[in-house]
Amino acid sequence: MMAQPNLLNPHPPEFGQFLYASVGEDRNGYVVTVLSTLARLGLDPWKETAELVTLGRDDARVRLGALLARFRDVPALSSDHGRIARDLIQLLPEDRASGRLKRAATEVAIGHQGTIGAIWAVLAIIFALFQMFMVGGSGSGE
């Protein structure tokens, strides 16, 4: 039986160790995480992680290495992105053949847009109801 996703945090918890791992320090001395790196590159961190999980370790390492090489905010990445990518890939969930993890990765990769659409639809309905209440409650002019 598949557990219901947490509505406040719909992302697979198995991704946390990888996403919150450090890629190094920026020029100001602050630690930068994988999550921050991917977001600053304009990528959805959870979707990218889900895609890395579905790749084999070697392909995931190459892909992550290429992404880290593009990131200029952490000086150490310019010369050491390959080693850092290798170390970070070890933090991805191991069992990529697991049905539950594959479903979670797929849901992240394609399901996130559906959730956002549903939220906007609910907000639009609430707004329309509010507008009807405000216009209808203004009285008949008598």
pTM: 0.64
- DSSP-based three-state secondary structure for 25: strand
Antiparallel, parallel or unpaired: β 31-33 and 22-25: antiparallel
Q: Where are the domains of the chain?
A: 14-111
d(CA 126, CA 67): 41
How far CA 77 is from CA of 21, 40, 118, in Å, comes to 14, 14, 39
Does the pLDDT at position 97 exceed 90? Answer: no
Cβ-count burial 24-60 (b if 16+ within 10 Å, e if not): bebeeeeebbbbbbbebeeeebbbbbbbbbebeeeeb
Q: What is the pLDDT of residue 8?
A: 47
Confidence of residue 128 (pLDDT cuts 50, 70, 90): confident
Does the pLDDT at position 124 exceed 60? Answer: yes
Q: What is the pLDDT of residue 1?
A: 41
Q: What is the pLDDT of residue 58?
A: 92
